[in-house]
Structure 1
Amino acid sequence: PITSMKVLADSLLSQEGVPAELYREFLVDIAAEIERENKIINDLLALVKMDKKASALNITTVDINELLEMLLKRLRPLAAKRNIEIVFESFRPVSAEIDEVKFSLAFSNLVENAIKYNVDNGWIRVSLNADHKFFYVKIADSGVGIPEDCQDQIFERFYRVDKARSRETGGTGLGLSITRNAILMHKGAIKLYSKEGEGTTFTIRIPLNYVV
């Protein structure tokens, strides 16, 4: 982003008598690059915090049903802009020992991706279930899907399946790495199933009781 901003600024400085409309267009582009830089910095800060040992977790007993409902309520307006329907299905009441902030970040990243890489008038289905040991969250979407040859690298830092599309949607290539780190800190696991052109499903499994 900094290189892009410098190119835009240098272009303006090197020309005389630049029309006000062009100035405005370039300033809008520079503002967008600043916003993208801000996202990258925030994502990097989140990763740095998660790289610290798991003792940094703030574990409390949380109503998972209530938490997911609240997070989805915040994200529905974003989905509504493209007429994407978000459906939440809970099979049972679930309480678990988690770090609410870190789990919320992981879950929100997955749903935001499901919105960004979906199709207009698409859908996102979120389900919550549990057994005697774990709770499970599944996030499925009707989006563009992830090519099979990219799926092994999808959780790597700065990896982006489609750089042009990620730039267009404001992606930094850090979101899924942050998500995986947060889940692993909870002694959990995350799995991916995706077919290009048909959509993607992420499944999260986290212990109900946190053990150091």
Structure 2
Amino acid sequence: MDPLLIAALSGAVGLAIGVVGMHAFRVSERQRAAGIDVDEPTMPEGATEVLASLGLAYIVVDTVDGVVRANPAAYAFGLVRGHTVVHQEVLGLTARVRSDGVIIDQQLELTRGLQGETTMVVHLRVAPLGDEYILVLADDRTEVSRTEAVRNDFVANVSHELKTPVGAISLLAETIEDAADDPDAVARFSQRLHKEANRLAVLVQDIIELSRVQGKNVVHAGKPVDLNYVIAEAVDRSRLPAESKGIELRVGGKLPRRVHGDSDQLTMAFRNLIDNAVRYSPDNTRVGIGLTSRDGIAQVTITDQGIGIAPENQERIFERFYRVDAARSRQTGGTGLGLSIVKHVITNHGGEVALWSQPGRGSTFTVRLPELEEGLDSLTGLGEDPVDLTAHLNTDDLTEDTQSARRSAGEGGNA
């Protein structure tokens, strides 16, 4: 037989055998795979039910830190994305627990958001779960930490603010005692002692008022309030210090409907704004108080012809104890709490307070509060159906309203 023909037949037979062998191998592999039982990740009996009842965010990871279980809170906090733990700090804790089996309790500040644009404070408890898994429990402590920081800052500021007048009173008392034989010196130091005592009394009163407005639920305890009366009362209480500086308090406009809230708190807030305008205005000028109503919103503007506030200070003007010029505040008797009280009161009433100011051109504080609907402004209380205080508050046209009301209220002011 021809050798070439024999070689061709041999090649064909070899190829056929190879194809059959490969097919047999693949069939064998499929049969073997079909016979293998792949266990889904499982947790100890009852663990899922216990985790669901904790009310905390939880993550369960396997031996390679793949996420086996995670509840919606863990995703909402940004701790988990897909089947991956986002933060390396958390993975570091799971590695330690996996290594030594010791439970870890730790509080961390972690980034939050797709780009890590915000942060949150979480308390983490990381513990072994069965033989294969690690459990991460996360409790959001952001608000608790913020409140604690505010409280500590408040205590530190109060201590500092109280220390100054108390120290001055003590020093002046010693000076008066040493100058007992000098009537003129006694009279001079007694006046300063009286001034420091008044400053201390005002500071304590402001702290009491701030505590009071923070502790009252205006939504449930309030009632319809006539802002026309509130403004008249606030102006009357501020008239004496205004007259002592030759400052005219001029009120323009009238509000047709009432608002829901606490009359005493609102009077205190508007008195603080008017007092602030008087305190920082030059002698023989004018403070305008304008009242307007638009689209269910009551708007009150207080415009002065004072020194104005620089742009870099305007964002912080409502912070507790923040004063643009501490030396000037000591001269004028400011405590740094007045505008903080205003902000808190107005916010509690579902409203907002904004500032327009330019150095040398004065300032305008604009307060906007939602008015009661027609038919509701005669109620004496809210009962079981409280009015939504923010339902009609639209902030889109605040700047236009502020400028318009500033012009109508100031009447020759410094807008």
> TM-score when scaled to structure 2?
0.48
Matched, 1:76 2:253: no
Which residue number in structure 1 is paired with residue 345 of structure 2? Answer: 182
1:137-152 map, 5 Å: 137-152=300-315
Partner of 2:332: 169
2:166 is matched with 2
- For the Cα contact (< 8 Å) 1:188–1:207, is it kept in 2? yes
CA gap 1:29/1:94 in 2 versus in 1, 3 angstroms: same
Whether the aligned pair in 1 keeps the contact of 2:255 and 2:298 (CA below 8 Å) is no
Match among 293, 304, 316 for residue 153 of structure 1: 316
Q: Is the contact between residue 4 and residue 33 of structure 1 (CA under 8 Å) also seen in structure 2?
A: yes
Secondary structure at the residue paired with 1:125? Answer: strand
2:236 & 2:350 partners in 1: Cα distance?
Answer: 27
Name the counterpart of 1:125.
288
Greater Cα offset, 102-111 or 16-25: 16-25
Q: Which residue of 1 aligns with 2:18?
A: none
Verify the 8 A CA contact 1:94 1:129 in the aligned structure 2: no
Gaps of 5+ in 1: none
The alpha-carbon deviation at position 157 of structure 1 amounts to 0.8
Does the aligned pair in 2 maintain the 1:63–1:95 contact within 8 Å?
A: yes
Q: CA deviation at 1:18?
A: 4.2
How far 1:33 sits from its partner (Å)? 0.8
Q: Deviations over 1:56-105 (max 9, x none)?
A: 86412122223322332332333222221222111542322121000111
- Match status 1:96 vs 2:259: yes
The aligned residue for residue 42 of structure 1 is 205
**Which residue identity is paired with 2:301?**
K
Distance 1:2 1:102, change over 3 A: same
Shift of 1:16: 6.9
Structure-1 separation of matches of 2:214 and 2:244:
35
Residue aligning to 1:63: 226
**Shift, 1:155, TM fit:** 0.7
Q: Secondary structure at the match of 2:335?
A: coil
Matched letter for residue 328 of structure 2 = R
Normalization by structure 1: what TM-score? 0.91
Tell me what 1:30 maps to.
193
Q: Distance in 2 between matches of 1:124 and 1:85?
A: 6
* RCO higher in structure (CA 8 A, sep ≥6): 1
SS in structure 1 opposite 2:315? helix
* Equivalent residues of 1:65, 1:94 under 8 A apart: no
Distance 1:150 1:31, change over 3 A: same
Instruction: Return the offset for 1:11.
Output: 3.4
CA contact (8 A) 2:291 2:300 kept: yes
RMSD over aligned Cα atoms: 2.0
Q: Which amino acid aligns with 1:9?
A: A
Q: What is the alpha-carbon distance in structure 2 between the residues aligned to residue 177 and residue 112 of structure 1?
A: 14
**Aligned-partner Cα distance in 2 for 1:49–1:56:** 15
Counterpart of 1:211 in structure 2 is: 388
The 1-side partners of 2:173 and 2:230 are apart by: 44
Give the match for residue 21 of structure 1.
Answer: 184
Q: Is there any run of 5+ residues in structure 2 with no aligned partner, and where?
A: 1-164, 373-386, 390-415
The answer to whether the 8 Å contact 2:307/2:359 transfers is yes
Aligned pair in 2 of structure 1 residues 77, 31: CA closer, same or farther (>3 Å)?
Answer: closer
SS in 2 for 1:128: strand
Please identify, of 110-119 and 54-63, the stretch whose mean Cα deviation from structure 2 is larger. Answer: 54-63
Separation (CA, whole Å) in 2 of partners of 1:113 and 1:16? 37
Q: Is the 8 A contact 1:135 1:208 kept in 2?
A: yes
AA at the equivalent of 2:238? L
C-alpha contact 1:65 1:90 (8 A) present in aligned 2: no
Larger deviation, residues 75-84 vs 192-201: 75-84
2 CA distance for matches of 1:55 and 1:73? 24
Alpha carbons 2:227, 2:255 under 8 Å: kept: no
What is the count of residue pairs matched by the alignment?
Answer: 211
Query: Percentage identity across aligned positions?
Result: 34
Q: Could you tell me which amino acid in structure 1 is paired with residue 233 of structure 2?
A: M
Q: Distance in 2 between matches of 1:208 and 1:82?
A: 35
2:248 is aligned with 1:85: yes
